[in-house]
Amino acid sequence: MRSGVALKRSVLRKSGKLIPLYPTFFLVVFFLVPFTVMLAVSFFHRVEGAFFEPAFEFDNYLRFFDPFYLGILQFSILLSMAAAVLATAIAFPFTYMITRMSRKAQVVALVLLLAVLSLSEVIIGFSWSTLLSRTSGISNLFVSLGLLEKPTSYYPSLSAVLIGLVYLSVPYAVLVLYPPLSRLDPELPEAARMMGASPMRTFFTIVIPLLRRPIMSTLILVFVFTLGAYTLPQTLGKPSSWTLSVHITDQAIFQANLPFAAAMAIFLLVVTLAMIAVTSMLDKTKSEGDTK
Amino acid sequence: MEFDSVRAIDNIDLVLPQGQFVCLLGPSGCGKTTLLRMIAGLNTPTSGEIIFDGEPLTDVPSHERNFGMVFQSLALFPHLTIAENIGYPLRIRGFSKRKIAARVDELLELVHMPGVGNRQISQLSGGQRQRIAIARALAIDPKLFLLDEPLSALDAKLREAMQIELKELQRKLGVTTIVVTHDQREAMTMADHVVIMKDGQIFQQGPPLEVYKKPNTAFVADFIGSTNLMPCRILSSDTVETYGTEVKVAHLAASLKPNDQAALSVRPEDLSLIPKEDAPESMRAKITFSVDLGTHTELQLDHGGQDIMVTIPPQRQQVFAQGEIWGLQIADNACAAVSL
Amino acid sequence: MPTLMNRRYFLGTSAAAAAGVIAAPSVLRADTGTLKVGTYGGFFQDSFDAHIYPAFTEETGIKIESISEPTGSAWLIQLQAAARAGQVPADVSMMTQIARLKGEKEKLWLPLDASSLANSANMPDHFIHKYESGEIYGLGAVSWYINLVSNTEVYPDAPTSWSDIWDAKYEDSLGLLALVDNSFLLEITASTFFGGTAILDTEEGILKVFDKLAEVKPNVRLWYRDEGQFQQALETGEIPMGQYYHDVTGLAAADGQPVRSTFPKEGGVLDSGSWCVLKTSERQTEAQTFINYMSRPDIQSKLSRFVGTAPTVAREKTDLTVEEFAAVSSDIAPIIPRYDIYAQRGDWLNQKWSQLIAS
């Protein structure tokens, strides 16, 4: 009896703590469990010509330490970094100008952006391959303007992949940057103007430094986001521009080599997390230096 | 200036005197901030001209006007130290580090905050931030010093102290200064010249005491200080008739002619109470509220449905009880007849 | 996008299906009286639903539940997971040959009763799949050709040989399939330059073939995974030549597109799908009835007419006219893919291939 009462009480006391259980539940079911399964599979033994069997071996990771795959990893990281820098560089001034427009114009601009968000990677890849094609692409426009002799094709190429990735991620970058930029007190840039700073100078000495953190978040978001892209590199790129995600997909879907795919995915995840950690640590030291 | 398809400022003709402390005064939404921002170049007028020192300003971008401005939010840069904030306009102009440092020290001295240059903005109190913002706006010896509701964030006591400090600073530097405020006390304290605005138009301007003594409209009379507005008819250039009595006025609005219906602005201190028997029926009122503030007594009376305020100097050892009926007497040569 | 979306639909479906493997292995349960048959979602499934299943049900009384399956290895992985859990997402599945072989290694397929599959007599041996013990576990379902395709406006004269894709005049103008085991370019190279696919028996031989294949790279504009992407580029002339499916190219040409599919003199690549029964299926009898029915020459003819596939039975057993046969097949001996090498050393081939095309 007594223990029953005590139990009831502790349940009552705990009911207030139920709220954090909800996110915990979701994290466990939709992140921790799949991740654990993937981690386990990455150590399994690949049976050539069939599937895999439970085991604990490092073969899948060792296979990754091949100049070929390491080269792809390095390429993927550099490509995503470039996409992150370009997308942020495009999105930031764009968003800044949007937040300086009238409320109505802002809504229109954001709705248009959301419309772009609804485009899948597949459709974006398809559209850009048409736009960059010789037969119906922009080079025809250049020819009619007299800039080019005859139409040419700009895909598949590394620049086409980069364009596709940047196009894919700019709307996300804008959505991340919009809230902090619209919260930016308009009097801050105005003050700089009054003190003699040209609009450009104001932008670089005031607006950008004030929004260093949102800019960092945007860079990281686009970096991670584009690392996972696997359709655009294969639609718009030559095989040399295929990223690690493309190879992971190949292994998982076409080669049925889940252990190797899992090992590559885990490795990519670890490298990504490490890079984010280093970045935010550098950022932290910098801002601590600021307050001193 | 078009502002959400409503004209915020309309047909303003304003000439501001050099070297003076000017207050743009009016209720919120009257267009005073818009006018200030036009002067600053932050808003562009749809038509008209702004001329400064004989040169048209309209096409000069704000960053080339060499004005100093203190914003309502102060707009101090949180990512810069105090010294970096104050030195910002100097850095933009390419001054050497040593020169900037020297000027920053000088400015900190000027606003009575020496030696805080290395601190962060977040470490300052409201009043201190105020001073830094002022110092920053003055860093380049601006040709024009603009302040947009600069003291509105401060508590009453500090605000009064800052008003005086700001006024002293302006006198010392001799810089032409324009302050936007909705607080008439603030304007009276600081300004050499006040500009009263409402609905995007200028109602009256001039030295504060003159505007106080000689308002031209009921709005100005009521906005500057408190007043009782009584319906009146103009008899001559110095006499009006109100409630059947003739009153000699100190000021008659220029637009008024004999027989015009107008309002008589009677300041509470220009009214006195006399025994009801000595006053005509139409000038009797009942006391509805009375408070002795020590320095003076404030009374509120019901005069035929209209509330009337009266201030009694302390030397009168009279007791005024609620409910009593008294006669109202308007001082001659003290009041102003104003247009409605 | 071309209206005819590819039946070997790769990107979307297969990725989703693969995610499903980890997240939730099929929640399907055994039901009563119907046979669940899996075919590649899209064009194939639609065609089967419209032209094949109703007649089968009418004739045998066995109802069909049509299941959409992704290609690649995704379906195989799902079947394997389901078999472990004792479940049956589909009784009968159409499997690619490599997936079928992988399943054979795992003994994933239910051994069938040969006496119930009388129509297997109509088929060549390579369409009768047996375990080492000699038990039959599957029969060929449909076959299709991967041919040399070209844009008729860009190239008024059709190329005639696979060796043309090595010709320097086609620089930067080919679209080839991106994977070693769906392009079958090793077999094509071996048949064109090394007298047949026997050279692929050894790693040494394969490396020789790779070297020859590397010479084709300057001519390749696009290594494609998405069929729609290449088909569109072929139709517009953006990428005017390459390898592609004979059946889909024929349908596009019938739609008026300026494309053609040519059986090269070395033969087109004859790829195929086979019927296999999952070992956990409890409907062996019905499954055998279905597979036997599908192996009938008249049904194979029907498939050729309505789905555009090549018959798995000998030509003379079908009632196809000369034109009908020519539309789906050719008398030139086909290149038969060496599925066995992918089952044996798939990982090695895959990596060599990736390095070859990516370098």
If you write DSSP's letter for every residue of C348-359 in order, what string do you get?
HHHHHHHHHHH-
Band the pLDDT of C26: cuts 50, 70, 90: very low
Q: What angle do CA B247, B252, B258 make, to 5 degrees?
A: 75
List the single best residue of A101, A103, A195, A287 to mutate versus B (max B Cβ within 10 A): A195
Helix, strand or coil, per DSSP, at residue B9: coil
A289 has pLDDT over 60? no
Band the pLDDT of A10: cuts 50, 70, 90: low
C25 has pLDDT over 70? no
Helix, strand or coil, per DSSP, at residue A157: coil
The shortest C-alpha distance from A270 to chain C (Å) reads 20
Kind of pairing, strands C241-245 and C136-151? antiparallel
The predicted model gives C76-90 an average pLDDT of 90
Least confident of B36-40, B277-281, B309-313, C19-23: C19-23
Give, for C300, the enclosing helix (H) or strand (E). Answer: helix C297-306
Tell me the range of A119-123, A167-171, C16-20 where mean pLDDT is highest. A167-171
Contact A129 C11 (CB under 8 A): no
Q: Which residues of A touch C350 (CB under 8 A)?
A: 250, 255
Band the pLDDT of A12: cuts 50, 70, 90: low
Contact C358 A133 (CB under 8 A): no
Least confident of A269-278, C8-17, C181-190: C8-17
C327 has pLDDT over 80? yes
Of A34, A125, A156, the CB nearest to C221: A156
B195 has pLDDT over 60? yes
Band the pLDDT of B29: cuts 50, 70, 90: confident
Of B71, B93, B120, the CB nearest to A191: B71
Helix, strand or coil, per DSSP, at residue B4: coil
The predicted model gives B267-280 an average pLDDT of 88
A13 has pLDDT over 80? no
| Six-digit token string for A135 | 């037969």
Distance CA C56, CA C67 (A): 16
A1 has pLDDT over 50? no
Contact map slice: C 116-145 vs A, CB within 8 A: none
Chain C residue with CA closest to A36: the answer is: C22
First to last CA, chain A: 61
Chain C residue with CA closest to A127: the answer is: C1
Distance CA B158, CA B148 (A): 17
Report chain A residues touching chain B, CB-CB < 8 A: 185, 187-188, 190-199, 201-202, 205-206, 209-210, 212, 290-291
pLDDT at B156: 85
Residue A34 DSSP class: H
pLDDT at C5: 38
Helical H segments across chain B, by residue range: 32-40, 82-92, 97-110, 126-138, 156-173, 184-190, 208-213, 218-223
Of C22, C105, C238, the CB nearest to A38: C22
pLDDT at A4: 46
Using the Cβ of C344 and the Cβ atoms of chain A, whether some distance falls under 8 Å is answered with yes
The shortest C-alpha distance from C221 to chain A (Å) reads 7
By the 8 A CB rule, do B265 and B274 touch? Answer: no
Percent of chain A with pLDDT over 90: 56
Question: C with A: 3 or more CB pairs under 8 Å?
Answer: yes
Least confident of B46-50, B153-157, C60-64: B46-50
Helix, strand or coil, per DSSP, at residue C71: coil
B129-138 residue pLDDT tens: 999 999 999 9
Distance CA A137, CA B184 (A): 67
B273 has pLDDT over 60? yes
Distance CA C15, CA A235 (A): 16
C192-215 residue pLDDT tens: 999 999 999 999 999 999 999 999
| Six-digit token string for B13 | 């003709």
Contact A51 C11 (CB under 8 A): no
pLDDT at A54: 87
Helix, strand or coil, per DSSP, at residue A76: helix
Q: Which residues of C touch A126 (CB under 8 A)?
A: 1, 228-229, 232
Mean confidence (pLDDT) of chain C: 87
By the 8 A CB rule, do C187 and C200 touch? Answer: yes
B151-161 residue pLDDT tens: 888 888 888 88
By the 8 A CB rule, do A239 and A191 touch? Answer: no
Output the DSSP codes for B241-310. Answer: EETTEEEE-SEE-TT--TT-EEEEEE-GGGEEEE-GGGS-GGGEEEEEEEEE-SS-EEEEEEETTEEEEE
Kindly report, as residue ranges, where domains of CATH 3.40.190.10 are found in chain C: 2-143+271-328, 146-269+335-358
By the 8 A CB rule, do A126 and A160 touch? Answer: no
pLDDT at B315: 64
| Six-digit token string for B338 | 């104003």
A132-183 residue pLDDT tens: 998 888 999 999 888 888 888 898 999 999 999 999 999 999 999 999 999 9
| B83: nearest Cα among B106, B65, B60 | B106
Q: Which residues of B touch A205 (CB under 8 A)?
A: 88, 92
Distance CA C269, CA C162 (A): 11
Band the pLDDT of B192: cuts 50, 70, 90: very high
Q: Which residues of C touch A66 (CB under 8 A)?
A: 351
User: Looking at domain C2-143+271-328, which CATH architecture does it have?
Assistant: 3-Layer(aba) Sandwich (3.40)
The predicted model gives B152-181 an average pLDDT of 90
| Six-digit token string for C231 | 């088909």
B207-250 residue pLDDT tens: 999 999 899 999 999 898 889 999 999 998 889 989 888 889 98
The predicted model gives A216-221 an average pLDDT of 93
The predicted model gives A204-227 an average pLDDT of 93
CATH number of C146-269+335-358: 3.40.190.10
The predicted model gives B38-62 an average pLDDT of 84
Domains and CATH numbers, chain A: 74-256 (1.10.3720.10)
With a CB cutoff of 8 Å and minimum separation 6, the contacts of C239 are C173, C174, C175, C221, C222, C230, C233
The shortest C-alpha distance from C243 to chain A (Å) reads 17
Distance CA A218, CA A226 (A): 12
Q: What is the pTM of this model?
A: 0.79
Least confident of A164-173, A282-291, B23-32, C109-118: A282-291
By the 8 A CB rule, do B121 and B82 touch? Answer: yes
| C290: nearest Cα among C119, C47, C98 | C119
Q: Which residues of A touch B62 (CB under 8 A)?
A: 190, 193-194
Chain C residue with CA closest to A230: the answer is: C11
CA B87 to each of CA A131, A139, B66: distance values in angstroms, whole numbers, following the listed order: 50, 51, 15
By the 8 A CB rule, do B36 and B146 touch? Answer: yes
Chain B residue with CA closest to A206: the answer is: B77
Helix, strand or coil, per DSSP, at residue B119: coil
B1 has pLDDT over 80? no
The shortest C-alpha distance from B103 to chain A (Å) reads 15
**Does the bond joining A156 to the residue before it have cis omega, within 30 degrees of 0?**
yes
Distance CA A278, CA B283 (A): 84
Contact A49 C101 (CB under 8 A): yes
The shortest C-alpha distance from B190 to chain A (Å) reads 23
| Six-digit token string for A244 | 């690690």
Tell me the range of A40-54, A214-228, C29-43 where mean pLDDT is highest. A214-228
By the 8 A CB rule, do A77 and A69 touch? Answer: no
Contact A49 C346 (CB under 8 A): yes
Band the pLDDT of A11: cuts 50, 70, 90: low
Helix, strand or coil, per DSSP, at residue C148: strand
Residue B63 DSSP class: G
| Six-digit token string for A108 | 């229109």
Using the Cβ of C225 and the Cβ atoms of chain A, whether some distance falls under 8 Å is answered with yes
3-state helix, strand and coil shares in percent for chain C, rounded to the nearest 5 = 50, 20, 35
The shortest C-alpha distance from A286 to chain B (Å) reads 12
pLDDT at C299: 94
Residue with tokens 């030559």: A238
Report chain A residues touching chain C, CB-CB < 8 A: 34, 37-38, 41, 46-51, 66, 68, 72, 122, 125-126, 129-130, 133-136, 153, 156, 231, 234-235, 238-240, 242, 247, 249-250, 252-258, 260
Using the Cβ of B75 and the Cβ atoms of chain A, whether some distance falls under 8 Å is answered with yes
Q: Which residues of C touch A122 (CB under 8 A)?
A: 11-12, 226
C135 has pLDDT over 70? yes
B288 has pLDDT over 80? yes
Band the pLDDT of C42: cuts 50, 70, 90: confident
By the 8 A CB rule, do B288 and B315 touch? Answer: no
pLDDT at C23: 37
By the 8 A CB rule, do A238 and A157 touch? Answer: yes
Of C1, C72, C74, the CB nearest to A126: C1
Give, for C287, the enclosing helix (H) or strand (E). Answer: helix C284-294
| Six-digit token string for C59 | 């004739």
Residue B28 has a CB neighbour count (10 Å cut-off) of 8
The predicted model gives A232-244 an average pLDDT of 93
pLDDT at C72: 67
Contact map slice: C 3-32 vs A, CB within 8 A: 10-12, 14-15, 18, 21-23
Q: Which residues of A touch C101 (CB under 8 A)?
A: 49
By the 8 A CB rule, do C83 and C282 touch? Answer: no
Distance CA C90, CA A218 (A): 45
Helix, strand or coil, per DSSP, at residue A214: helix
By the 8 A CB rule, do C358 and A240 touch? Answer: yes
Neighbours of chain C (3+ CB pairs under 8 A): A
Of B69, B77, B93, the CB nearest to A194: B69
Residue with tokens 């109505």: A104
| Six-digit token string for B169 | 């600073």
The shortest C-alpha distance from A111 to chain B (Å) reads 22
Contact B136 A194 (CB under 8 A): no
Output the DSSP codes for C184-241. Answer: -HHHHHHHHHSSSGGGGGSHHHHHHHHHHHHTTGGGEEEEES-HHHHHHHHHHTSS-E
Residue with tokens 């692929």: C200
> What ipTM did this prediction achieve?
0.82
Q: Which residues of A touch C176 (CB under 8 A)?
A: none
Q: Which residues of A touch C1 (CB under 8 A)?
A: 126
Give, for A68, the enclosing helix (H) or strand (E). Answer: helix A67-99
A236 has pLDDT over 90? yes
